[in-house]
A and B are shown apart, each in its own frame.
Chain A
Amino acid sequence: MTEPVTTETATTARSGLDTHGFASRRTLVWRRFLRNKPAVVSLVLLVLFFVGCYALPPLLPYSYTDLDYYALQQPPSVDHWFGTNALGQDLLALTLRGMQKSMLIGVCVALIATVLAATVGAIAGYFGGWRDRRLMWLVDLLLVVPSFIVIAIVTPRLGSSDRVFWLILLFSVFGWMISSRIVRGMTMSLREREFVVAARYMGVPNWRIIVRHILPNVASLLIIDTTLNVGTAIIGETGLSFLGFGIQPPDVSLGTLIADGTNSATTFPWVFLFPAGVLVLIVLCTNLIGDGIRDALDPSARPLRRKRR
């Protein structure tokens, strides 16, 4: 977020206090984040998921389109680790294919929407005046547009190749307005705070004040917003696909897989449980990572090193 970390500051993490350079905020935040074990595990898991869903399919004996007529609705076995569905498709391959779509949509939408919300909210709140008025008109305008219908109208006209891209774009464009209003309100009160005034009197440029002082102080909200958005976007895409507007067969997403599996959830639970479990894990991981970042950024959060004897 701020200036690039030089190697000099990076070394302070190794040897504590009495090295030459002072630890920058980035180093301190990173150190605090690393102390939060659940968040680190979640981050590793999420990265593994991301890499896995792209790297694993070529190594598997079945692709997600292959049909195994000798194994219809088989429970998990050595051949099919996650079992198969009614058509004899391998569920592991399907789930990985679905994860590619869903994770891309979830993470990208959450990031883009939050960045939009932070930018618009901070600019409107910090500068006020005409910028504030115009940006808030835009927000009000987007809020009254029935987003779901717009998405439902636009997506079927697109080819399947760039459909994911368009879904990400549309979900992001319609997903940032309410948080940006909250960010604007918080910025307006931060703008009057003395440390912001002090920075202004020190000749710090406005954009730098926004990046260094305003945004870190609304970070708790932004991070919660991002982690919630990941889940919302994945579920939103699921809803669209379920209604037939989102990802279309033969391509799959976690949403379509879960939708297919719900009918037989009690009789053939693996068809439903594996995609749903993966979805839950992704959302859980993002939430834990978000908590970790929030605590790391907030110096008043309880120290994670337990002192209890």
Chain B
Amino acid sequence: MSLLDVADLSVTFPTETERVAAVRGLNYHVDAGEVVALVGESGAGKSAGAMAVVGLLPEYAEVTGSVRLHGDELLGLSDQKMSRVRGKAIGTVFQDPMSALTPVYTVGDQIAEAIEVHNGSTTRRAARSRAIELLDLVGIAQPEQRARAFPHELSGGERQRVVIAIAIANDPDLLICDEPTTALDVTVQAQILDVLKTARDVTGAGVLIITHDLGVVAEFADRAIVMYAGRAVEVASVAQLYRDRRMPYTAGLLGSVPRLDAPQGARLVPIAGAPPSLAALPPGCTFAPRCPLAIDDCRLAEPDLITVGTNHTAACIRTEQVTGRSAAEIYGVSTTPNGGDRKETDPPVVLRVENLTKTYKLTKGVVLRRTVGEVRAVDGVSFELAQGRTLAIVGESGSGKSTTLHQILDLTAPQAGSIEVLGADVATLSSRARRALRGDMQVVFQDPVASLDPRLPVSEVLAEPLSANGFDKRRIDDRVSELLQIVGMRRADANRYPAEFSGGQKQRIGIARALALQPKILALDEPVSALDVSIQAGIINLLLDLQDRFGLAYLFVSHDLSVVKHLAHRVAVMFKGKIVEQGDGDQVFTDPRDEYTRKLLAAVPQPEPNRG
């Protein structure tokens, strides 16, 4: 008998108009000491499939099937009885450590509370000293002092360590981790995975990890369950899955992951279309509408998981077509970089930044404000961006990369240093010239939801930069339909509101808006990090195509080194406001000079198991 047995689990969210089937007949088991990953894109039902185990779904969710921990049925238990299981036999690590901790209690108290709740006999003192032990275990330095810290006084990584400490406080048998590293920086992510490994070894618990990051799966998990539209579509050991995937969806998912060993300009394999609506599923295989191998039989009935190897099952009737073929072959796309015969003449420089500095004053006191110091957010940064090229600014959160970008986009005189856009020094611009220059430099933001006004239909979103720059009605309409076509959307989409589109489509609209005025420079502020991998691949390809087509210069800000590898000609690595290394993409990635760059590169989880 395994530690956790989930059989025929279904989760349905009834809404006023429709019933959303988030999980449809999911079976899995977790053994003690084993790490099982639920992998899938957003909306695949992976969170619902795991949270049903701990009973943390909203009350109106309809859950059927069976969840057995050590053979005891958990479904149908009252909330009170579940509370005795949660935190005791099952520990949970959530995605966002800031909201998982109560801001008004010290972290030591919060760990101690987790212990006291489940052990009525412990004294406060014992719980406290155990809390300090746990903090030490999860790798927090000076645990006695840090136990008295409030959550906001800790860094993101330290907070996540505290959450893990709470999760393992009562020596649980099962640890459920819901995207435990998604909200964290790359280097911190690697550390947290190490802590989780330690936690598993110390407690001997089985781990169920929910993630969309195939790199994390490869680094950490033993077995993986790939989910699509509420069902498991492929189940295999991680080594098997990466070597010999049989389901076209898994192949596409792996093919769409950007890789550190790809040359600049290499295209990815996107999966066309978007996941189906879980409220109105098409008959037959749910993946068939997006599948390049779909035949008529696929649309007749939804295939069950078929055994294709030892401990390897896939829900597909065309698995033999997948074996031994690369994702690019299956999906019929070419991944080779276009325009390899790019002429080697030096293109003109369109953006030159020299010694850019931005400091924030730290003040103290309310009535008599006095400066007690300053934070150098950007500290003497210099770089050049040539036409038709991509410069990537890489760094972790707080490195000053976004501040640099917004300083440039502001087109106002910087505190120190100079910014030169298309040969014009921004400090000397008249307001009319600044207005004109804005048309040449546009921005695409990270969050496609926040960057589009929810109350404007798409046609007006795209028309806005045009009408602000004096286009007339007819030319606006022409340009809007042209733009939609450039980013691969339909004309009819223009009359809908942003909320009606998927994340990838919203980002395409954001890119179309940035292209409206035919800019020469496009500033990309983490344009793909909020998207699912298969969608992200499409956007990366689009950006590469647009650069080839219009000769755009990209100023690309990102924390994701694999994405940078695909896009960037030159890379600048930022750390604490300074550029620690700058050079050609290939050189920085293959032969990093700086210590920090090496650390950053080593921390990137790669979708290849057992590479070390």
Contact = CB atoms under 8 A, between A and B. Distances in A.
Interface stretch (A40-48, A233-241, A271-279, A298-306): A298-306
Contacts of B453: 195, 212-213, 216-217
B467 interface: yes
Interface in A122-180: none
Interface in B7-53: 16-17
Contact of A203 (B438, B450, B500): B438
Nearest to B449: A194
Chain B interface size band reads: 35 or more
Given A17-B495, A198-B443, A307-B17, A25 B456 contact: yes
B468 interface: yes
Given A194-B450, A194-B451, A198-B443, A205 B409 contact: no
A297 interface: yes
Interface in B447-462: 447, 450-457, 459-460
B130 to A, nearest CB: 42
**Quick one: which of B16, B435, B439, B467 has the most chain A CB within 10 A?**
B467
Given A193-B450, A203-B468, A22 B494 contact: yes
A159 to B, nearest CB: 46
A201 B443 contact: yes
Interface in A215-251: 216-217, 219
B494 A203 contact: no
A77 interface: no
Given A198-B513, A202-B468, A204-B468, A24 B451 contact: no
Interface string A1-25: 0010010100000000110111111
A181 B16 CA distance: 35
A21 B473 contact: yes
Contact of B468 (A25, A208, A219): A208
A72 interface: no
A27 B450 CA distance: 24
Interface in B325-362: none
Contact of B455 (A18, A217, A302): A217
Contact of B477 (A22, A202, A219): A22
Given A17-B495, A203-B469, A23 B457 contact: yes
A201 B456 contact: no
A28 interface: yes
Interface string A182-215: 0000000000011101110111110010001100
A139 B465 CA distance: 35
A193 B465 CA distance: 17
A212 B468 CA distance: 12
B459 A24 contact: yes
Contacts of A25: 455-457, 460
B467 A195 contact: no
B454 to A, nearest CB: 6
Given A22-B477, A302-B16, A199 B454 contact: no
Contacts of A17: 492, 495
Contacts of A308: 17
Given A21-B473, A202-B517, A307-B17, A212 B456 contact: yes
B455 A299 contact: yes
A8 B469 contact: no
Secondary structure at the A interface, as helix, strand, loop or mixed, is: loop
Contacts of A205: 468
Contacts of B554: none
Contact of A202 (B450, B454, B465, B497): B465
Nearest to B495: A23
A23 B459 contact: yes
A28 B454 CA distance: 14
A198 B460 contact: no
Interface string B62-96: 00000000000000000000000000000000000
Contacts of B499: 299-300
A200 to B, nearest CB: 9
**Quick one: which of A18, A28, A219 has the most chain B CB within 10 A?**
A28
Given A22-B477, A198-B443, A302-B16, A203 B435 contact: yes
B131 interface: no
Contacts of B442: 201-202
B445 interface: yes
A307 B457 CA distance: 23
Contacts of A194: 445, 447, 450-451
A299 B513 contact: no
**Quick one: which of B447, B456, B469 has the most chain A CB within 10 A?**
B456
B464 interface: yes
Nearest to B481: A22
Interface string B399-436: 00000000001000000000000000000000000010
B226 interface: no
Nearest to B463: A22
Nearest to B523: A201
Interface in B495-526: 495, 497-500, 510, 513, 516-517
B186 interface: no
A201 B438 contact: yes
A195 B495 contact: no
Contacts of B196: none
Interface string B189-222: 0000000000000000000000000000000000
B439 A203 contact: yes
Nearest to B478: A20
B480 interface: yes
A216 B441 CA distance: 27
Contacts of A202: 438, 442, 464-465, 468, 513, 516-517
A21 to B, nearest CB: 5
A198 to B, nearest CB: 6
B464 A28 contact: no
Nearest to B454: A299
A20 B492 contact: no
A177 B609 CA distance: 63
B465 A300 contact: no
A216 B495 contact: no
A203 to B, nearest CB: 4
A6 B500 CA distance: 26
Contact of B451 (A23, A198, A217, A297): A198
Contact of A299 (B464, B491, B494, B497): B497
Contacts of A208: 468
Contact of A298 (B439, B455, B459): B455
Q: Which 6 A-B pairs have the closest CB atoms?
A: A22-B459, A299-B497, A203-B438, A194-B451, A202-B465, A204-B468
Given A201-B443, A308-B17, 6 more contacts: A25-B460, A28-B495, A195-B453, A199-B464, A217-B454, A300-B499
10 contacts: A22-B494, A194-B445, A194-B450, A197-B445, A201-B409, A201-B438, A202-B465, A203-B439, A203-B468, A217-B453
